[in-house]
A = this chain, B = another copy of it.
Amino acid sequence: MNPRAMVKLSHFLNSGNKLFQCRLRGENSGSCFNLISSAGISTARQSYGADGRSSSRIFADYSIFKGKAALSAAPVLPTFSKMESGFTKVDRRGVIMLTFRPAIGERKYDSEKKQLFALSVTEVGSFISLGPGESCEFYHDPSMASRDAGQVRKSLSIKPHTDGYFISLSVTNNISKTNERFTVPVTTAEFAVMRSAFSFALPHIMGWAYSTNPPTNSAGRDFSKVQPQVSAASEWDR
């Protein structure tokens, strides 16, 4: 990613740090915040809508249906772009998208009222490293860096209970003056599935799963041309 982009990312991270420090610190060793996802994918709608070939994607979510709400999780892959140099780089890191749907009547869930929360790479790191009895909370501002900054606040919390965790999403919208809250009790087994699936997905949403595929990964072809994607020798440049 080019220096320019780096500056922007670091901007979000730093402002984020200042904004939420006080609310995040504490005995929560698993706590973290990383607004890259919020920032990084803010134009996803456009590029997504613009691309017919994305219809070749495969959907596979992991859904948990409980009395008051349903929670679904699915990986969202990074996007890539070519640089002038001809190299391909990760343009936008992926996320793990959490979708909450409220129950309406028995065993019915309302997709019209769904709320999303996109876990960034670092938030996934926090999720999968959550120790027994630890809790974790993330804050997103979907309108960050727009003139509506601060109008909508989303917070996701993961809190332990006797057999697993409560995963709750609260969305405060100062414009529509609404405040929605979803809480889904997740069993130890369901959480183990999420932890395992998120761990598997992590190198994919980071893009590492693709950068570690050599040009030909069939042993039948010639490997002698495979080269490091960074000039390793440059450790010796200075």
Give the interface of A toward B (CB within 8 A).
1, 3, 6-7, 9-11, 13-14, 25, 29-32, 34, 37-38, 41-49, 51, 53-63, 65, 67, 70, 74-82, 85-91, 94-95, 97, 106-109, 111, 115-118, 121-126, 128-129, 140, 142-143, 154, 163, 171, 173, 187-193, 195-197, 199-204, 206-220, 222-238
Contact = CB atoms under 8 A, between A and B. Distances in A.
A216 B216 contact: no
A77 B229 contact: yes
A53 B216 CA distance: 11
Given A89-B58, A122-B189, A189-B123, A222 B70 contact: no
B65 A224 contact: no
| Interface core residue of A11, A129, A223 (most chain B CB under 10 Å) | A223
Contacts of A129: 188-189, 191-192, 195
Given A213-B219, A236-B143, A229 B76 contact: yes
Contacts of A188: 29-30, 32, 126, 129
A31 B80 CA distance: 37
Copies in the complex: 4
A126 to B, nearest CB: 4
Given A14-B65, A59-B88, A76-B232, 7 more contacts: A14-B67, A37-B232, A45-B231, A60-B210, A80-B223, A82-B224, A210-B214
Given A3-B111, A13-B65, A53-B227, A60 B118 contact: no
Contact of A41 (B56, B89, B232): B232
A122 B56 CA distance: 27
Contacts of A77: 212, 214, 226-229
Nearest to A11: B107
Contacts of A9: 63, 65
B54 A228 contact: yes
A226 B88 CA distance: 12
Contacts of A223: 58, 80-82, 88, 210
Contacts of A195: 129
Given A30-B189, A208-B201, A228-B41, A57 B88 contact: yes
A218 to B, nearest CB: 7
